[in-house]
Amino acid sequence: MPAKKNVILELSRLQKEVLELPSPALQVRKIVDSVSSVVGTDVCTLYLEDNNHDMVLMASHGLVQTGPVSIPAGKGLVGLVASSRHPINIARASEHPSFYYVEGTAEERFRSFCGIPLVRYGKVIGVLVVQRREALALSAESEGFLVTLSSQLAHLVADMPVTMHGAHLNTYTRGVRGSAGIGIGLGILCDHGDLYSVPDEPCADIESAIADWHRLLQQVQLEIRQEQHNLGELLSESVSSIFSTYSSLLADQALIQKVELEIRNGNWLPGALRKSMQYFADMFLAMEDPYLRARHEDIHHLGNKLFTTFQGSNSLVQNVDEVDHVVLIGDEVSISDIAAVPSDKLVGLICFSGSSLSHTAVLANALGIPAVMGVGQLKNLRNRERFIVDGNSGQIVRWPNEMLCSEFQRLIDEERLLLSKLSSLKDEPALTPDGFEVRMFTNSGLLADLSPGLKYGAQGIGLYRTEIPFLVRDSFPSEDEQQLVYSQVFTAYAGKPVYMRTLDIGGDKQLPYFPITNEANPALGWRGIRFTLDNIQLLMTQVRAMLRAAGEDGDLHILLPMISSTEELDTFNQLLTEALEQLHGESIAVKRPKVGAMIEVPAAISQLQFWQDRIDFVSIGSNDLSQYLLALDRNNSRVASRYDLLHPAVIHELDRVMKLARKYRLPISLCGEMAADPFAVILLLGMGISTLSMSATRLVRIKYLIRHIPQEKAHQVLQQCLQLDKVQDIRKLLHQTLVDYGLQELI
């Protein structure tokens, strides 16, 4: 047994050695051999839980294993360790009432037993067992070492495939929903070489390297135009503008000059390219807003595309040619990769990193390709492994058996029938059976987001994020440049309401050309309306651009993010009046828009009584409001499982906001995940919500739900839920409500 001071060293050594091994089989073998040696026991066995909650023996040092070994759920000392979630350390295992003998392991030779649960994020995923021939329990020191070790091992083995006698079982890995739908196919790796692992090397000829850089820019511009043409028949003009964004980045002088500078500093072209792309990507990655943070993926995609073209090799096309149903897999599957696969072959996307807000996810939504993002690195991955991509639940299944594939194929067939049935609702009103109507809006932020909303019958834009023009440049965009972007939005949604949020930046969402001092808690710091009012010249320019883009015909509504005080509202309204007076003085035809407060900060709720004469409407930002109410970061894997939009506190506060809005005659809308969640929509209907804004692909589904559940029934269900104090009970009641109305297919 190692001395206490060496415990951390032993853990670090074991983790390093395990990660260097090429296969899960070798990794688990290394774990049990090392633990047995360090603790000084005759046996060390690792069990992992399978999908049936049975404990499967993965590897053992000391036991005989001639075939598959599986202990039924809850059986034996191993099952007791798992269910009790605490160690069991006894001298005579066979005398314990829970003892369960496994035939064929020769376990009878070993008398003592010490089992430690492997727990990851509150869930038992396995059990580590050590045994000795002598009837002697482990010392407290050795048991403590195993408890410490097991807490680390749980994270190390969590994603290992659970195997029995060499046969892979269905292995689930959870990620983030990128695009809804289900796909079954063979995985093809998008691995063209990683720019970000390129080393720095001396540049032999600086002028020649700079010339190569400019030739590379021209070549990649041509490739992007060709890829855009390849997808042209599948994409609307505005969705195709994603490619235009890439072209704009390649033409940006800040990028061009940064690479040139790195070359002149003596770095070869790949090294200069790596440093430059990483420089710009890091700026986006440091930002707090998940939508803006996701833009770093675009820089990474573009950097790898430049590097692939520089290398002059691409094996993706050859691999795709030999597969009928393709699932593209990579760290960040690029738009170029998607464009390289025939549309009738591509059935899914899996990204090790990324988010639902990345360009990859946006494009997947537009094309109707199921996508799961942020699954983490998949170990020992090879081309042509079978995968199920479940974009509805945000998880993938690796090595699915035929029975599971058949079940998911049934879901795919049912989904096709449902979409066929719902397609006719595009232009129908979202009207409940008892006559309550809800306006259906879409969220947007890229020009690429515009057409999908119209395709699925959006009646307007409920949230347009205006940050992008500020983030693709090396200086603040001018009023004319912003006006040009916003005008395209009003053109696409002519005659429809457009809710534009003012610049939501600040805290750790730093612009590359306007650095802000780091803050201890940026979520509570200098961001949103606080930042723009302190930089009022930027806000004036943006408001003028919005007003000009809307003109006299556009139905502009201005949303104020992170609003929390009356002074902020008064200052903005004064600025808006000044902007209108300026434009009228310049003979530019504009009209005063409606102004609303986003309810994201809980402090705003109690102040609605003071704001009724200062604002025209309110819009609930359900994602941020829920996080602030629960003090939980839903992007933090350690606490994400505790984040639930249907938490009783969230429901009660939303109900309070709705009642206050009615009392003060303020129109109210809601944007965020709740608007697209069938369970949440029942409650929102019961509260009397009249405007919902969501991602475009969810519009017809939610409209179908609204057209089948009476508002009065939703109100009754809401009253029942308000009496419940557990999320599980709330979800159970809402699930039953959908089943009662024959809407279980929407779950």
Question: What angle do the packed helices 536-550 and 566-585 form, to 10 degrees?
Answer: 60
More confident residue, 264 or 525: 264
- pLDDT score at 190: 81
Does residue 358 carry a pLDDT above 80? no
Catalytic residue among 114, 203, 671, 721: 671
pLDDT at residue 634, rounded to an integer: 60
Is 671 an annotated catalytic residue? Answer: yes
How long a stretch of residues is the chain?
747
pLDDT number for residue 172: 78
Q: Across residues 375-403, what is the average pLDDT? A: 83
How is residue 156 written in tokens?
């190390």
Structure tokens at 5: 């001071």
Query: Could you write out the DSSP letters of every residue in 494-551?
Result: TTSEEEEEPP--BTTB-BTTB-----S-GGGSS-THHHHHHTHHHHHHHHHHHHHHHT
C-alpha separations of 584 from 480, 547, 554, 701 in Å: 17, 11, 16, 44
pLDDT score, position 131: 95
Tokens of 98: 């829970």
Q: What is the pLDDT of residue 685?
A: 98
Evaluate whether 390 touches 367 at the Cβ level (below 8 Å).
no
Instruction: Give the C-alpha distances (Å, rounded to integers) separating 604 from 77, 520, 625, 672.
Output: 54, 23, 10, 18
Q: Check residue 584 and give its pLDDT.
A: 96
Burial 683-707 (b: 16+ CB within 10 A, else e): bbbbbbbbbbbbbbbbbbbbbbbbe
Answer whether residue 4 shows pLDDT above 50.
Answer: no
User: What three-state secondary structure class fits 198?
Assistant: coil
pLDDT score for 236 = 46
Q: Is the pLDDT of residue 233 over 60?
A: no
What local confidence, expressed as pLDDT, does residue 518 receive? Answer: 63
What backbone phi and psi angles, to 5 degrees, belong to 310? -60, -40
pLDDT surpasses 60 at 50: yes
Q: From CA 366, how far away is CA 339, in angstroms rounded?
A: 13
Task: Report CA dihedral (433, 622, 350, 280) to the nearest 10 degrees.
Answer: 140
* 208: pLDDT strictly greater than 70: yes
Give the Cα separation of 560 and 168 in Å (integer).
52
Give me the pLDDT at residue 366, please: 67
Residue type, 662: R
Model confidence over 143-171: pLDDT tens digits?
888 888 888 788 778 777 665 443 445 67
**Could you state, in order of their start, the residue ranges of all structural domains in the chain?**
4-167
E strand or H helix at 243, and its extent? Answer: helix 237-251
Pairing of strands 437-444, 461-465: parallel
Nearest to 679 by CA among 623, 643, 718, 640: 718
Digit-coded pLDDT (tens) for 679-727: 999 999 999 999 999 878 789 999 999 999 999 999 999 999 999 999 9
Spell out the SS3 assignment of 607-638. Answer: HHHHHCCCCCEEEEEHHHHHHHHHCCCCCCCC
Cβ partners under 8 Å of residue 356, min gap 6: 176, 177, 178, 373
**Is 359 an active-site residue?**
yes
Q: How confident is the model at residue 444 (pLDDT cuts 50, 70, 90)?
A: confident
Q: How far apart are CA 23 and CA 581, in angstroms?
A: 70
Please give the pLDDT value at position 177.
82
| Amino acid of residue 522 | P
For the stretch 608-637, pLDDT in tens is 999 999 999 999 999 889 888 998 776 555
The residue to which tokens 């809800």 are assigned: 438
* Average pLDDT for the chain: 84
Tell me what pLDDT residue 319 has.
66
**Residue 684 exposure: Cα atoms within 13 Å on the Cβ side:** 29
Strand partners, 128: 46, 116
pLDDT at 293: 62
Alpha-carbon gap, residue 354 to 63, rounded angstroms: 43
Average pLDDT over residues 445-464: 81
For residue 583, is pLDDT > 90? Answer: yes
Sign of CA dihedral 69, 75, 79, 80: negative
CA distance 454 to 449: 10
What is 4-167's CATH topology? Beta-Lactamase (3.30.450)
- Residue pair 330/189 in contact by the 8 Å Cβ criterion: yes
Q: What is the C-alpha to C-alpha distance for residues 691 and 475, in angstroms, rounded to an integer?
A: 36
Kindly give, in sequence order, each residue whose CB lies less than 8 Å from that of residue 376, ignoring residues fewer than 6 positions away.
159, 173, 175, 352
Residue with tokens 């946006």: 362
**C-alpha torsion angle, residues 303, 304, 310, 315 (rounded to 10):** -160
Hey, is 685 helix, strand or coil? helix
Q: Which residue has the higher pLDDT, 313 or 100?
A: 100
DSSP 554-602: SEEEEEETT---HHHHHHHHHHHHHHHHHHHHTT----PPEEEEEE-SG
The first and second tokens of residue 657, run together, are 């906001």
Given the residues 192, 300, 359, 647, select the one marked as catalytic. Answer: 359
- For residue 341, pLDDT over 70 is answered with yes
> Distance between CA 493 and CA 498 in Å, rounded?
8
Judged against a pLDDT cut of 70, whether residue 511 lies above it is answered with no
Q: Is 445 helix (H, G, I), strand (E, B) or coil?
A: coil
Model pLDDT, residue 703: 95
Among 1-15, 394-408, 503-517, 731-745, which range has the highest average pLDDT? Answer: 731-745
Residues 6 or more apart whose CB falls under 8 angstroms from that of 637 comprise 121
- Look at residue 3 and tell me whether its pLDDT is greater than 50: no
- How confident is the model over 539-552, as a mean pLDDT? 96
Supply φ then ψ for residue 289, to 5 degrees.
Answer: -60, 120
